[in-house]
Structures are given as structure tokens and as C-alpha cells.
Amino acid sequence: MRADTPAADLPLAGIRVLDLSRVLAGPWCTQTLADLGAEVWKIEAPVKGDDTRSWTPPDVDGESTYFMCTNRSKLSMAVDLRHPEGQKLVRRLAMQADILVENYRLGALRKFGLDYETLSAENPRLIYCSISGYGRSGPRAAEPGYDFVIQAESGLMSITGEPDGSPMKLGVAVTDLVTGMNAVQAVLAALIARAQSGRGQLIDLALLDGAISILANVGSGYLAAGSRPQRYGNGHPTVVPYQTFAAADGVFALAVGNDAQFRALCTVLGLPELSSDERYGTSRARAFNRDTLLPVLERSFATQTSAHWIERISAAGIPVGRVRSVPEALDAPEVAAREMVAETPDAVHGTLRLMQSPLHLRGTPPRRPVSPPRLGEHTDELLQRVLGATAEEIRALRDSGAVA
């Protein structure tokens, strides 16, 4: 069971994050930092806010569930960065921050005095994490980068989909999510380095870099062995059988990871002769002879229901599972047992069902989710508590249009 960790005992208690990022990669990073106890100040444009606030459907009474997925446990401040006074406010916040995360176009923040060189000169302890499509150096540094295009350009799309079908993207923005995770790792490393040196640093992360890195074994197969990857649909280039199979009543996923598991599978199927066949006895042999092996397995699986096979294959110690819908997955008992979904109090809706952090630290668990903020919900609080603004000063800032 997850226990509520006192705020002061959370791993990043006392760390302040100035979040100038929007959409997914940057907010995914800062949400994880918030889960771990950091105080995250999400700076949003007045009226419009983060782009994802308008990304519907789906929505809950007009509020975007896309925004909800990546902004739990943050404080929202509505500031107009085009306004000179708004720029001054955010620079003052940067002087109080430990970490700044941004994903603006190259050079955009320099004109506001919010670039790394300007801010680090005044706050040398600042860790400044810059996220972009192609990095802050290189021939494409000035170009915008979107997950869909990055999946295409990185090669990820070319290895996803049916062998005779079109290249296919993953169902979520995987390069944004991976870059957000990379950003968390880099920020935590920079915090450790700062504890030793006393200085922050610039972190330069690119969606394309993150996408290239997760080519993993497929990438190394080309680099080291010259192997040109192809699409295998739900199959695997090296491990066989490792794919979905159709039973009499539906589809299930089977992952036979080694020769011992293959022998056990053959016993379950009543086909022990397959494991002694030199064409299939080893993982390497099965990879080269998949075209003759898979039809035999497919005919056998088609004779019984998926429940029949899952029960027997699982009992034999072989990884197997039903192909679930998203609702089935989120409502699964093992997901509930890990408390990955939380009923979160919300001022407007009463409660919201939100996903929780997957980081199960037994000594200092992440905080339970706090409902994503409404646009500008914490503007006055942060002006008063962090910058010491008086009620009169806040009124003047609002009247001028610098904040909302």
C-alpha cells in the first residue's frame, strides 16, 4: 500500500521548479519532479494557457483530459511574457528557482531575458533544462519538432506496423514521453553535480536524440552488424514465438523468451517433437525458421479459447496475456493492487480519476496526485509567497495585463 509521505520528507522537498514548458515532453518531466516533492510553478499565457487545455475531446465538462495527464500537483500562474512587467516577474521567479524547464523555439526566450546565459549570470545555481525537437545545436536547431515527425525521421515508424503494411506510429507520443523521462534523469544528475560543485548547468535535450536512443537492439543490429531492420507487426526480429496469436475466440499475446520456455510450450501444446526438431530447438534456429514454425503454432492455438491457452501457458511459467483495451487495463485488479489509479479530490468535479506516479520508492513514496490546476489558479499565491508582492502591487500587475 502507498503511504502518504509528509511533504517535508518527499525526495525533492524544498526544490523549486520554474516550468516554462508546454504540451507534453517538458510537462511530463516537471510532473515527475512534482510527484517527487518539488514545488512546480507552471507559467501559462493568460486566457489561453497551455496548448493542451484546448485539446479536446475527450474532456470532463469542457476541461481537457490531455492537460490532466501531465500537469498533476503543479501550481499555475498566468503571466504574459510579451509584457515587460511579466518578463520581470518570471526573471525574479528564476532567481528563486533551482530548476527551469523550457521548450520554446531557439532564441525565443532570449528576447525576454530568460535565456540560460542571462539567468545563470544572476543565479549560478540554476539548472536550466532546454527541450527541443532537434537540440540547441546542429543544422536543424531552429526547426520546431513534433512527436509524429520525429517518430518518422528517427526510424521508429519504419519498424512499427505489419510487414506488408504502411509504417505506423505508436498510439501515444512516445518520443515526447521518452524525452520527458530523459529530462528527469538529467535534472536529477545535475542536482547531484550541483551538490558537489555549487553550480547549475545547461541541459540540452532533443526529441530526435531520445528517439534514436530507443532504437535499442534494432539500432545496434544495424550499426554493429549492418542488419537492415524490417517490420514484423506484433512479432520480434530475434525472439520467436514472441507475438500475438488468434485463439478460437480472440487474440492473446505470447512471449517465449528462451529455449526452456519453448520446450514447456511444446509440452502444453502436445507437440514435444517441435522442441527436438533442429529447425526450432534453439532461439537462433527459430528466428531463421519462423515461416514454417508459426503456421504450426497458429493451427494449434485456433483449436481452443484464449482463456484455455492463457491458463495452461501461464501455469507452465511462460509469459502470456490477453490483449486488453485501455479501460480493461486501467480497471485490472493488478493495476488496482499497485494503486496506479487514484481518486483525486477536485474543487470543480468533486473527484477525478488520475494516474499516479509509477515510481514506487518504499522509503519516500511520491506524493499522491493533486488535481491539475485551473489556469492562473495560484497567481496571487505565488506573487505573495515567493515574490513578496502586496495586494496593491498584484492589482497593479493585473490592471496592466502582466498577469491574469
> Do 362 and 300 sit in the same domain of this protein?
no
Same domain? For 311 and 368 the reply is no
State the Cα–Cα distance between residues 158 and 228, nearest whole angstrom.
11
Whether 151 is covered by a domain: the verdict is: yes
CA distance 252 to 247: 7
Q: Residue 179 gets which letter from DSSP?
A: H
The CA-based angle 158-162-165, given to 5 degrees, is 80
Look at residue 77 and give its three-state secondary structure: strand
47-57 pLDDT per residue, tens: 999 999 999 99
Q: Which pairing describes strands 320-322 and 251-255: parallel, antiparallel, or unpaired?
A: antiparallel
How many domains, in total, are found in the chain?
2
Distance CA 130, CA 26 (A): 9
> Mean pLDDT throughout 30-42?
98
User: In this structure, is residue 371 part of a structural domain?
Assistant: yes
pLDDT at position 2:
66
pLDDT of residue 396: 97
Quote the pLDDT of residue 7: 83
Q: Is residue 100 part of a domain?
A: yes
The answer to whether residues 324 and 352 belong to one domain is no
Cell 515510481, residue located:
359
In a domain, 225, yes or no: no
- pTM score of the predicted model: 0.94
Q: Calculate helix-pair angle for 174-197, 25-35, nearest 10 degrees.
A: 50
Q: Comparing C-alpha atoms, which of 223, 241, 228 is closest to residue 287?
A: 241
* Structural contact between residues 92 and 99, judged by C-beta atoms closer than 8 angstroms: no
Residues 194 and 262 in one domain: no
- The residue out of 301, 328, 355 marking a domain boundary is 328
Look-up of cell digits 490592471: 399
Do 296 and 259 belong together in one domain?
yes
* Domain shared by 318 and 345, yes or no: no
Contact 11, 359 (CB under 8 A): no
**What percent of the chain clears pLDDT 70, i.e. is strictly above it?**
99
By CB neighbour count within 10 A (0-12 exposed, 13-18 middle, 19+ buried), where does 109 fall? buried
pLDDT top residue among 46 and 2: 46
Taking 70 as the threshold, does the pLDDT of residue 1 lie above it? Answer: no
CA distance 296 to 270: 12
Q: Which tens digits make up the pLDDT trace of 64-83?
A: 999 999 999 999 999 999 99
Q: What is the mean pLDDT of residues 229-245?
A: 95
Q: Same domain for 323 and 353?
A: no
SS3 sequence, 346-380?
Answer: ECCCEEEEEECCCCCCCCCCCCCCCCCCCCCCCHH
Looking at every residue in the chain, the average pLDDT score rounds to 96
Residue 260 has a pLDDT of: 97
User: Do 290 and 372 have their domain in common?
Assistant: no
- Asked whether residue 109 is domain-assigned, the answer is yes
| Residues 171 and 261 reside in one and the same domain | no
Catalytic residue (choose from 50, 115, 176, 209): 176
Are 348 and 321 in a shared domain?
no
Tell me, yes or no, whether 227 lies in a domain: no
Find the CATH number of the domain harbouring 269. 3.30.1540.10
C-alpha span between 388 and 87 (Å, rounded): 17
Q: Are 291 and 210 members of one domain?
A: no
pLDDT-derived band at 6 (thresholds 50, 70, 90) equals: confident
What is the DSSP code (8-state) at residue 198?
S
pLDDT in tens, 250-283: 999 999 999 999 999 999 999 999 999 999 999 9
Determine the structural domain holding residue 160 and report its residue range. 7-214+341-400
Verify that 127 and 251 share a domain, yes or no: no
- Domain-located, residue 50: yes
291 labelled catalytic: no
Residue 234 located in a structural domain: no
Report pLDDT digits (tens) over 181-202.
999 999 999 999 999 999 999 9
Residue 34 sits in a domain whose CATH number is 3.40.50.10540
Report the percentage of the chain scoring pLDDT > 90.
Answer: 98
